[in-house]
């Protein structure tokens, strides 16, 4: 198949949700449709259960699962679909944000009873920044849920995106009857059957006035559906795919993932409307997927589970051209040529060595500690992909060496864990001490545990009171110098030597922003 056709049939996306909304369940059902798995329960949730913060073995086990399920590929309706998994626990949100840089679209799952939740809002923020096309799946309609129009309004208001329902539910909870597919003009009848693996019983109803409708769902619900559909058609414009592709309009589906209900409609529509691999911006130019030469970037690095092999897997997203096994590529940051003898692809539960991969695909590369998140591979051009975010951490501690004999091990461990994007390292300008900043408190425990088990080093944490770290830049050199002098005790540098202001309080930050107008304070930096 020509490169052009391979690209056109690829759909690389992530399912994102607030924990417990049904992300894992929906992913599993999508894989069932794709024939990638055959029994329910094959995809383990990679979420770290609440309250498991001190159970390190659990964390390790979960990490293992998330390697296995990091990318799940399958074929459906002629498309090659790649689902990128994201961690469920919000302390690992940064990992999710980075994964979002490697997808071309997302499906957001929302719990029909709870509506839009905190984590959904944050994730949507990242999608909006990147103009990622979004499809919304409102889940758990088999349970008492909010009213569909209220949910649609809530999504629109809370996620700041226009919506367009493409399916509409008929009641919910104990009286849930099914979903009317506005796209195909057919009715899917709900039968609560957990074993269901393929189609729900579907009736084609072109004319909602036809008496057949009431035969299926009863007169009362038939009348309600007629009114609802009339309202939908009256209130919402026709679905505009271009607006969806620009990230301005989200089609909305309703269903019940655990009952495999409404999932087929979602998937059918997804393969039709979701974008194939999109152009990717670099510091110098935009890379088009159709370009003949291979380019790609590392968006995730995962340490090996086996303590005897301290190697890692780097996940490379192919952006253009054809990736080939045993071919030399330029590792742009080091300027070295590298070739890979056993690059892996991921198909549902299996991992296999591949010879070629195309834009949209994710390739697992064996890494002995040379790669960092954001690293670019090309056929010679010194490109650097942009937009791989590193978010301002919100939790901070001094890290101290607890074993003077293991200084080197500690330094190496910290270095590698930072490359993996587990946390960020800052060096205080005041006293030269090392400060680790994370998005969630759980990471401190993970770091300590991993330093001990993977690097044979031990560390100690000491408290430090910081409200936020933000990167500062200015074209006004004298104001910048003045700021750094005055805030000397609150200044630090990150691992790239960039200036970081460690604000003690939100008040101190606001004051600094007020008094130093020429300085840009940013809360996300790039790798």
| Segment interacting with ligand G4P, rule: CB under 6 A, options 15-23, 155-163, 194-202, 507-515 | 15-23
58: its two tokens: 């659990």
| Segment interacting with ligand G4P, rule: CB under 6 A, options 21-29, 155-163, 336-344, 372-380 | 21-29
To which residue do tokens 């690095």 refer? Answer: 301
Tally the C-alpha atoms within 13 A of residue 346's C-alpha that lie toward its C-beta: 27
In terms of Cα–Cα distance, which of 243, 239, 237 is closest to 133?
A: 243
Q: Is 264 in the site for ligand G4P (CB under 6 A)?
A: no
CB 187, CB 205: distance < 8 Å: yes
Pick one of 9, 10, 11, 23: the residue that binds ligand G4P (CB under 6 A). Answer: 23
Pick one of 21, 59, 135, 373: the residue that binds ligand G4P (CB under 6 A). Answer: 21
Closest to ligand G4P by CB, 45 vs 490, is 45
Residues 6 or more apart from 55 whose CB is under 8 A from it? none
Q: Is 22 in the site for ligand G4P (CB under 6 A)?
A: yes
Residues 6 or more apart from 294 whose CB is under 8 A from it? 318, 320, 321, 322, 323, 324, 327, 329, 377, 378, 379
Pick one of 69, 132, 139, 428: the residue that binds ligand G4P (CB under 6 A). Answer: 139
Dist. CA 445–CA 261, nearest whole Å: 40
Pick one of 9, 10, 12, 19: the residue that binds ligand G4P (CB under 6 A). Answer: 19
Site string for ligand G4P, 77-96 (x = CB under 6 A): -----------x--------
Give, as ranges, the residues between 28 and 47 that touch ligand G4P (CB under 6 A): 45, 47
Dist. CA 450–CA 7, nearest whole Å: 39
Q: Is 24 in the site for ligand G4P (CB under 6 A)?
A: yes
Dist. CA 218–CA 276, nearest whole Å: 42
H helix or E strand, kind and range, residue 337: strand 336-338
Task: Report in angstroms how near the CB of residue 260 gets to ligand G4P at its nearest.
Answer: 9
Task: Report in angstroms how near the CB of residue 141 gets to ligand G4P at its nearest.
Answer: 7
270: its two tokens: 């997804």
Closest to ligand G4P by CB, 137 vs 346, is 137
Closest to ligand G4P by CB, 191 vs 515, is 191
Dist. CA 340–CA 355, nearest whole Å: 10
| Segment interacting with ligand G4P, rule: CB under 6 A, options 18-26, 32-40, 198-206, 287-295 | 18-26
Closest to ligand G4P by CB, 78 vs 174, is 174
3-state secondary structure at position 471: strand
| Segment interacting with ligand G4P, rule: CB under 6 A, options 256-264, 371-379, 424-432, 438-446 | 256-264
List the alpha helices (DSSP H) in 238-356. 241-245, 263-273
Residues engaged in binding ligand G4P (CB under 6 A)? 17, 19-25, 45, 47, 88, 139-140, 142-143, 256-259
């Amino acid at each position: 198949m020509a490169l052009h056709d391979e690209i056109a049939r690829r759909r690389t996306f992530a399912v994102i949700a607030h924990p417990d909304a049904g992300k894992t369940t929906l992913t599993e059902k999508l894989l069932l449709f794709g024939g990638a798995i055959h029994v329910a329960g094959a995809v383990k949730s990679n979420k770290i259960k609440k309250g498991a913060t001190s159970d390190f073995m659990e964390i390790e086990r979960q990490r293992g699962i998330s390697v296995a399920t990091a990318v799940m590929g399958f074929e459906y309706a002629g498309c090659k679909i790649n689902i990128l998994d994201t961690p469920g626990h919000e302390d690992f949100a940064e990992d999710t944000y980075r994964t979002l840089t490697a997808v071309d679209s997302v499906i957001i799952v929302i719990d029909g009873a709870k509506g839009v939740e905190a984590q959904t809002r944050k994730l949507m923020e990242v999608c909006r920044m990147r103009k990622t096309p979004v499809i919304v799946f409102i889940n758990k309609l088999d349970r008492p849920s909010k009213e569909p129009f209220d949910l649609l309004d809530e999504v629109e208001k809370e996620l700041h995106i226009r919506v367009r329902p493409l399916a509409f539910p008929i009641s919910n909870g104990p009286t849930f009857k099914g979903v009317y597919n506005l796209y195909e003009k057919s009715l899917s009848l709900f039968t609560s059957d957990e074993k269901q693996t393929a189609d729900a019983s579907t009736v084609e109803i072109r004319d909602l006035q036809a008496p057949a409708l009431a035969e299926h769902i009863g007169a009362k619900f038939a009348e309600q559906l007629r009114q609802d559909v009339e309202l939908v058609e009256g209130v919402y414009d026709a679905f505009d795919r271009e607006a969806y592709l620009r990230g301005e309009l989200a089609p909305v589906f309703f269903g019940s993932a655990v009952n495999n209900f409404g999932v087929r409609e979602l998937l059918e529509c997804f393969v039709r409307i979701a974008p194939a691999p999109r152009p990717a911006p670099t510091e110098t130019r935009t890379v088009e997927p159709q370009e003949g030469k291979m380019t790609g970037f590392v968006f995730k690095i995962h340490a090996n589970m086996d303590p005897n092999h301290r190697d890692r897997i780097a996940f490379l997203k192919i952006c253009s051209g054809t990736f080939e096994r045993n071919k030399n590529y330029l590792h742009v940051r080091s300027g070295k040529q590298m070739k890979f003898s056993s690059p892996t692809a991921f198909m549902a539960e299996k991992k296999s060595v591949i010879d070629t991969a195309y834009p949209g695909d994710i390739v697992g590369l064996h890494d002995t500690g040379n790669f960092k998140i954001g690293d670019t591979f090309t056929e010679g051009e010194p490109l650097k992909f942009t937009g791989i975010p590193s978010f301002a951490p919100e939790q901070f501690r001094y890290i101290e060496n607890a074993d003077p004999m293991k200084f080197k091990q500690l330094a190496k461990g910290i270095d590698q864990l930072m490359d993996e994007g587990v946390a960020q390292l800052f060096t205080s300008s005041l006293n030269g001490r090392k400060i680790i900043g994370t998005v969630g408190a759980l990471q401190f425990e993970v770091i300590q545990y991993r330093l001990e088990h993977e690097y044979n080093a031990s560390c100690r944490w000491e408290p430090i009171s910081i409200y936020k770290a933000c990167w500062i830049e200015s074209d006004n050199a004298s104001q910048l110098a003045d700021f750094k002098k005055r805030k000397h005790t609150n200044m630090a540098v990150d691992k790239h030597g960039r200036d970081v202001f460690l604000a003690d309080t939100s008040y101190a930050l606001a004051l600094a922003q007020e008094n130093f107008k020429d300085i840009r304070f940013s809360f996300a930096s790039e790798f």
